[in-house]
Chain A
Amino acid sequence: MPLIRDGEIIADTWRVLDEGAEIPGQGDVILSLERLRNGAGQIAARAGRTGVAIENSADPGELEAHLAHLDLIALDFPAFTDGRAYSQARRLRVHFGFAGELRARGSVLADQAGFLTRVGFDTFELAGGQSLKVWNASARSMTLAYQRGYDGGQATREAVTELPAPA
């Protein structure tokens, strides 16, 4: 499935490590929360980058102790109507100051683009059959936002310098 960043399809350098496999020293690998917990020492010594994928019922606070060694956190949308990962993302960005890559995976639909971007996601594993074109149209469909204290993509009333011409 295509991986999107900043409105473009990019190559995915990350691979999800199989449950039983050794944690390699090199390369970008995504671990489960359990592997992350158990392999803390090994991970700190890795030359490659390390990421973690958590379920949307997990407490993002569990990652706090590991954040220094994490370059990517993948959050899950088991259904696009299950919005827990929006709040997980918000906690990671605001409470824990996570500055690495936040990735959305699972049931990621074009119509979520604006919401996902604003709570702090950077990369998106677009679910089956959707085109980049539709994603980008959706991402650009709302250029304004009322909520203050969220970043990305849309302008608040205070931030807006020039309103777009009426459609």
Chain B
Amino acid sequence: MYRYDEFDATFVRQRVKQFRGQVERRAAGELSEDEFRPLRLMNGLYLQLHAYMLRVAVPYGTLSARQMRKLAFIADSYDRGYGHFTTRQNIQYNWPRLPDVPDILGHLAEVEMHAIQTSGNCIRNVTADHWAGVAADEVEDPRPYAELMRQWSSLHPEFSFLPRKFKIAVTGSQADRAAIRYHDIGLRLKKNTQGEAGFEVFVGGGMGRTPMLAARVRDWLARDDLLTYLEAIMRVFNLHGRRDNKYKARIKILVHALGAEEFSAQVEEEFARTGAPRIMPGEGELKRIAAYFAPPGYDALRDDDPALALRLEKHKDFAGWVERNVSAHGVPGYAIVNISLKPIGGIPGDASADQMRAVADLAESFSLDEIRISHEQNLVLPNVRKRDLFAVWLSLGEHGLADANIGLASDIIACPGLDYCGLATARSIPVAQDISKRLGEPARQREIGDMKIKISGCINACGHHHAGHIGILGLEKRGREYYQITLGGSGDESASVGEIIGPGFSSENLSGAVETIVDTYVELRQNGETFLEAYRRVGPEPFKEAVYATH
């Protein structure tokens, strides 16, 4: 994991002090709310329906046990004993008081964390594959580049007042677990035939009211050109992105208006000109960063563990959990443990301070001190010895963290919705709870198989509904919540935008409609097709017929 040196530590401390001064000026009336708003947003602080909300950055979703314990401490000391892990690999606190926020940021700085640029019209926290560095299918570890981009984007002098927020995601695998084509910039790390690292570059993806998949603007960008090229993209966007209408201000609209070819030509022209000052750090600095991501001290192990085989045979529940929640690791004898934050009927992504501490303990004892946050609002212990899986499972069970539902129908992504959010038009959480209870019986959801249900409480699509196999969008009409269903979306390497199936549903009818869709799939699937495969074969008609005949 990356560790701060004195430079990073000083930078973050200065930033905390600067924000403390801004809060004081706001309290003294020297800053108006209009002036203060962009400043607090760039420090992760929103004003929501009932209170402030602080969004803390977990850069590319990586945490140590010590950092997770600090998050638990903050939840206990400044919130109501829990936090909410988000689709951007961050954590949100829902009840901080404004005067406490500089102190909270101070606590975060002590463990090399911050809330810089988790909000605002600037480059947001860079996200990455949550299995980066450990996935069996990885070409190269994207984390050193994610860290480089974290540093480069932090308080960027030129790009801190963009037309709109800007999100960058990076993956080092062909299988896309970072939804790169749904980002303003998506990067896929790859190698050329000489073994040199470079990137495939996508620009202009996004969700919101105009969902778009990013267009590929470069098949190959040499590693050493990364930041210079990103600056060229950012400059074209900063100068030409629309600022007259916030719903048309994302880079996707600019790319669409110009056409990917013309946009790309403008970027290339800018890129060719910006060669003069050196934007990328030298080889030494790249190596300094990369060294932090060298493989940790793995034991030399056989890949198969006889004790594990025995446990799997004897404990059916354990075997079911391993099947769904444990993934292939690149190192023999190790596994990736995915911890579900989706208990049946629970709030997706929420974790109590006790659960955070339990995960921190497990990371220390069994995962070489590493934890990851996934964009699907779950946690990951990336470095668990197969022989320790049983002990980890037992311990997770004691803390209500052993649900064996990763990737299943109850592994639902949901935004906070109208229960917290000032932008929401409908509630998301109760909808997720309903569906989870309806489909969550263990045998039932295993029978249904891979299924991504994603729920947003407004058109801004924080719950990624456009990328859901079944997407749900909560809206409001004449004071009543209603929900639109989309089918066939996907955020993976076969990315697609879901299609609306027809008129919306009341909150009473929604989970029944979702169940009808699922039942229809189970009936028509062939040869073990997943829902997405079946949908792509048969299209929306059979689902529409079934749903609108009964609801």
Near A by CB (< 8 A), chain B positions 244-281 give 273-274, 276-281
- The CA-CA distance from A158 to B155 in the complex, in Å, is 17
Interface flags, A75-96, vs B, CB<8A=1, else 0: 0000011111011101100110
Residues A87 and B238 in contact, CB atoms below 8 Å apart? yes
Q: Please, how many residues of chain A have a CB less than 8 angstroms from a CB on the other chain?
A: 40
**A119: which of B18, B39, B154, B157 is its contact (CB, 8 Å)?**
B157
**Known A-B contacts A111-B22, A119-B157; A84 and B238 likewise in contact (beta carbons under 8 Å):** yes
Residues A134 and B30 in contact, CB atoms below 8 Å apart? yes
Given the complex, which residues of A lie within 8 Å of B151, measured CB to CB?
146
**B235: which of A81, A82, A90, A163 is its contact (CB, 8 Å)?**
A90
CB distance from A137 to the nearest CB of B (A): 7
Interface centre among B15, B18, B30, B239 (most CB of A within 10 A): B239
Residues A157 and B7 in contact, CB atoms below 8 Å apart? yes
Residues A167 and B38 in contact, CB atoms below 8 Å apart? no
Given the complex, which residues of B lie within 8 Å of A166, measured CB to CB?
10, 13
Given the complex, which residues of B lie within 8 Å of A91, measured CB to CB?
235
**A81: which of B38, B152, B281 is its contact (CB, 8 Å)?**
B38
Given the complex, which residues of A lie within 8 Å of B239, measured CB to CB?
84, 87-88
Residues B278 and A149 in contact, CB atoms below 8 Å apart? yes
Residues A158 and B243 in contact, CB atoms below 8 Å apart? no
CB distance from A75 to the nearest CB of B (A): 12
Given the complex, which residues of A lie within 8 Å of B15, measured CB to CB?
142
Residue of A nearest to B161 (CB): A83
Q: Does A144 contact B (CB under 8 A)?
A: yes
Residue of A nearest to B122 (CB): A83
Residues A163 and B10 in contact, CB atoms below 8 Å apart? yes
Q: Please, how many residues of chain B have a CB less than 8 angstroms from a CB on the other chain?
A: 42
Residue of A nearest to B16 (CB): A167
**B238: which of A83, A94, A111, A141 is its contact (CB, 8 Å)?**
A83
- The CA-CA distance from A166 to B159 in the complex, in Å, is 27
Residue of B nearest to A77 (CB): B161
- The CA-CA distance from A145 to B273 in the complex, in Å, is 23
Residues B39 and A111 in contact, CB atoms below 8 Å apart? yes
Q: Does A164 contact B (CB under 8 A)?
A: yes
**Known A-B contacts A111-B39, A157-B7; A150 and B157 likewise in contact (beta carbons under 8 Å):** yes
Q: Does B100 contact A (CB under 8 A)?
A: no
Q: Does A14 contact B (CB under 8 A)?
A: no
Q: Does B378 contact A (CB under 8 A)?
A: no
A→B interface (CB under 8 Å)? 80-84, 86-88, 90-91, 94-95, 109, 111, 114-119, 134, 137-138, 141-150, 157-158, 160, 163-164, 166-167
Q: List 19 A-B contacts (CB under 8 A).
A: A81-B38, A82-B243, A84-B238, A86-B161, A94-B273, A94-B274, A111-B22, A134-B25, A138-B18, A138-B21, A141-B18, A141-B21, A142-B11, A143-B10, A143-B14, A146-B152, A160-B7, A163-B6, A166-B10
